[in-house]
A and B are shown apart, each in its own frame.
Chain A
Amino acid sequence: MKFALFLGCNIPARVSQYAEAAQAVSQKLDIELVDLPAFNCCGYPARNTDHRAFILSAAKNLALAAKAGLDMMVLCKCCYGTLKRAEHLLNADSSLQTEVNRILAKENLQYGGRVQVKHWLSVLYHDVGIESVKRKIAQTYNGLRIAVSYGCHALRPSPITRFDDPVAPKIFDELVEVTGAYSVDWARKLDCCGAPLTGINDRLAMDMAHKKITSAREAGAHFLCTACPYSQLQFDRVQHRMTLNSDNAEPLAPILHPQLLGLCLGFDAKTLGLSQNQLDLSRITSFLMSE
């Protein structure tokens, strides 16, 4: 199993532990990841103001993967949703595709719609399979309650993203429960984390985060679990700022999915970069028990 690993912009700069943990776990699960250094921004930030810049950025990435003959594994849900949206628009509009290819041709690239874009969770669930993951598990959690945050841009619009059932998704829950942790049922599991408005309308962004965190805490979760750098930064750094600015209760720390799984696969906290998260995760190892 071989994929071009698409990290996007946030992960290398601010959530590098996500990439490191995902790479370690991938190796254990026999997923070969290829780094294509020419990958650029997925186009996500450009979407709001400049449609053309968005399409071109996304199309170049898809064309690069096609040239390498690889499907893409994306770690960021906003990158995932953006690439899927661009793919949809390009496939539906041949004149757009022609125009994009005219520009890509200058870099000897071509968009042909052959590349499959998959998110980290989809690869683990559909390509590796829960059973295969289970076989590699060295130790499981006992009594750990996790609140998974699905991430809007992977889940919706479901006809385009085709990630999971938009109303009753299960792949993230199952990929958490394979570790022995209990995936709690919580009201705001499918809601927005607020990250898209951080830096634009911080009050609203924090309201969204606050509602989700409260809901997860009410469901008795020990930790949040994310598989997206935007959600991770929102729950980690923005929540940290929120707790500093209020006499609110203890923060509810988020853990990245490959970090959560990696501990069960026998990787140590350092390899998985647990200390690079701003909010403390050290308590999680106390839930681990050897098989």
Chain B
Amino acid sequence: MFDLLFFTSLTIFLLGLAYRFSTWFTRKIGLSGPPIRTRQRVRAAFSGVVRLVWGRQLLTVLKTLLGDILLQQRVLKEDFKRWLAHMLIFCGFVLLLLMHALEPVVSERLFRDYYSTLNPFFFLRDFGGAMVLAGVALAALRRYILKPPRLQTNRRDHYAIALLAVIMLSGFALEGLKITSYSEFQRMLEDYAGLDDEDEIQALESVWINDYGLVSPNLKGPFDEDLLTEGREVHFLNCADCHSSNRWAFTGFAVAKIMQPVAIALDRAGGLTLLWYIHILACFAGLAYLPFSKMFHILATPVSLITNQVTAPGRSSPANSLTRRIMELDACTHCGSCSLHCSAGMIFTARGNDYILPSEKITMLHKLAAGKKLDDRQLQAVREGVYLCTNCDRCTVRCPSGIRLKELWYSVREELLRSGPPLAPILTPYSFVRGLVMQDSLGADEYARPIAQARQAVAGQFTILMNPDRALPLNAPPAADRPPSAGEQTFARCFSCQSCTAVCPVVGNYENPEQVLGLLPHQIMCCLGLGLVAMASGARMIWDCLTCYKCQEDCPQQVEVCDLLFRLKNEAVARKALTRTTPPR
């Protein structure tokens, strides 16, 4: 039964790994020019690895292995408590894996006199377990109680913590029950001690009850000191050679103490078998689930960290860049560092769109790369999230997994801009970096089309002016949903001196400014005075405004011309429903 379960989960694990690794070469995300076949990607990655081995970068790899992967410096740089939790889980788990889980393969072959019940192994197993448990407790504390700003916890995080917790808790419960178990005591007595003398057995039993946490249905303390002395002698002669004191298994011993009142009942009810099954099944489930869980980062993150160190940004071939992007999606541990430090943190708070946060973008891109289909609303939310980024690169600098998020965003942003309706933020300085950095690597048309589409979407149709028979609806009531804020009514002071238009460098840049810009600044103020807000917010002028504030500075009436244009841009975007209206949290 054990073997069947083990080999089944091992097979799932291995097939899962093979599948997950293969996706690095088959899935696609972001912009990568002409289509690249899987074979090309494998070949490019392979030659990259060969170059790495032949080149002088092995030292860098070793340094990364030691510093970033084994000692986890990058996590330490983020937060000591997080590093501690991760190190406890990492070291404890490796210890348990080698010593305990792989007992027949590692411990028994390495040490001739190995007994799991003998120190130092007896103590170390417990120590490793306690480390993992403490680490899991710290991780749970951070995720569920302390909750750093913008840390999102999803299903995969819950599963990982729960699975580890079940494995560790069932292990300790099993150990604790074993310590108290009378049936286990009898089994060991028969298998190892081979005692016949009833008195000796009674003395030994008394010692195990008194000193080692055994709970017996026959005997109860306090015991006579002479009896205990005799029992210790018997223990020393028959048991001590292959069984250290149960107190060395400090956590299990503590659990045994807690279990004492129900120990006999549990033992009789077959609690040992039950706990053993829970423990083993949880471990096997963990093994089979690993390639599909966030625990896959155990393999993907080191690859990401090494790749980060040995490749220069922007130098990789398109094939390797694509492979790398997919691999990096697997390397994300959803730790939340990026979102904690995200410069757009308050923009997220204002808009309530999860995909503004880098950690949530990554999670969604992972799903998209796996072929998930989104409905229009979700897709638009993702597109907006990817665009509402201030390009400060902090996520890339901070990521403990060495993911070059910046490059991921650049590439994915362009891909997403090509699908779906226009995005308003493209008409704002969010686009500065796109214009500065991305423009050269894009075709002129690819670059300009999303901007033109957004302009088109916010442009007014001026239909009201096309029909000379229709009267203009003047003095329309102001929008009631929002009280006017400081300076917003200042257009009322405008007496059409046209100073704003005269000093505007945008107007001055064109021979026929009205043709290019639709309405000029003073005309926009005039529209506002007439209550024609929609008309004013349809003018191209507002999006070509450099926000240099010359108009406002020079206005003899202190009309806040430039700030009113800002307001109109807000209006236009809201009016054309180019904005998701999620209520803020």
B429 lies within 8 A of A40 (CB): no
Q: Is A12 an interface residue (CB 8 A)?
A: yes
Q: Is B74 an interface residue (CB 8 A)?
A: no
Residues of A within 8 A of B (CB): 8-10, 12-14, 37, 40-41, 43-53, 56-57, 59-60, 78, 85, 88-89, 92-93, 95-96, 103, 107, 152-153, 155-158, 166, 191-192, 194-202, 204-205, 207-208, 211, 230, 233, 237-238, 241
Query: Which residues from chain A contact B553 at a C-beta distance below 8 Å?
Result: 155-158, 166
B347 lies within 8 A of A41 (CB): yes
B506 lies within 8 A of A41 (CB): no
B505 lies within 8 A of A48 (CB): no
Known: A9-B343, A40-B346, A198-B436. A156 touches B549 (CB 8 A): yes
Query: Which residues from chain B contact A45 at a C-beta distance below 8 Å?
Result: 390, 425, 428-430, 432
Q: Is B163 an interface residue (CB 8 A)?
A: no
Which of A14, A95, A166, A211 gathers most chain B CB within 10 Å? A14
> Given A78, A192, A238, which contacts B436 in the complex, CB threshold below 8 Å?
A238
Which of A53, A88, A89, A233 gathers most chain B CB within 10 Å? A53
Which of B392, B431, B562 gathers most chain A CB within 10 Å? B392
A48 lies within 8 A of B570 (CB): yes
In the assembly, what is the distance between CA of A61 and CA of B342, in Å?
13
B547 lies within 8 A of A41 (CB): no
Query: Which residues from chain B contact A200 at a C-beta distance below 8 Å?
Result: 426-429, 431, 435, 451, 543
Q: Is B523 an interface residue (CB 8 A)?
A: no
Query: Which residues from chain B contact A47 at a C-beta distance below 8 Å?
Result: 428, 566
Give the nearest-CB partner of A195 in chain B.
Answer: B432
Q: How far is the CB of B556 from chain A (nearest CB, A)?
A: 14
B569 lies within 8 A of A49 (CB): yes
Query: Which residues from chain A contact B570 at a C-beta distance below 8 Å?
Result: 48-51
B429 lies within 8 A of A199 (CB): yes
A93 lies within 8 A of B485 (CB): yes
Q: How far is the CB of A50 from chain B (nearest CB, A)?
A: 6
> Given B344, B505, B546, B567, which contacts A41 in the complex, CB threshold below 8 Å?
B344
A57 lies within 8 A of B433 (CB): no
B509 lies within 8 A of A204 (CB): yes
In the assembly, what is the distance between CA of A49 and CA of B548, in Å?
17
Residues of B518-556 at the interface with A, using a CB-CB cut-off of 8 Å, are 543-544, 546-550, 552-553
Query: Which residues from chain A contact B566 at a C-beta distance below 8 Å?
Result: 47-48, 51
Give the nearest-CB partner of B484 in chain A.
Answer: A93
Query: Which residues from chain B contact A198 at a C-beta distance below 8 Å?
Result: 431-432, 435-436
Query: Which residues from chain B contact A49 at a C-beta distance below 8 Å?
Result: 424-425, 427-428, 569-570, 573, 579
> Given B345, B433, B485, B579, which contacts A96 in the complex, CB threshold below 8 Å?
B485
Q: Is B440 an interface residue (CB 8 A)?
A: yes
Q: How far is the CB of B487 from chain A (nearest CB, A)?
A: 8
Q: How far is the CB of B584 from chain A (nearest CB, A)?
A: 8
Q: How far is the CB of B347 from chain A (nearest CB, A)?
A: 4
Q: How far is the CB of B265 from chain A (nearest CB, A)?
A: 49
Q: How far is the CB of B146 from chain A (nearest CB, A)?
A: 13
Give the nearest-CB partner of B431 in chain A.
Answer: A199
Q: How far is the CB of A104 from chain B (nearest CB, A)?
A: 9
Residues of B336-368 at the interface with A, using a CB-CB cut-off of 8 Å, are 341-347, 349-351
Which of A49, A200, A205 gathers most chain B CB within 10 Å? A49
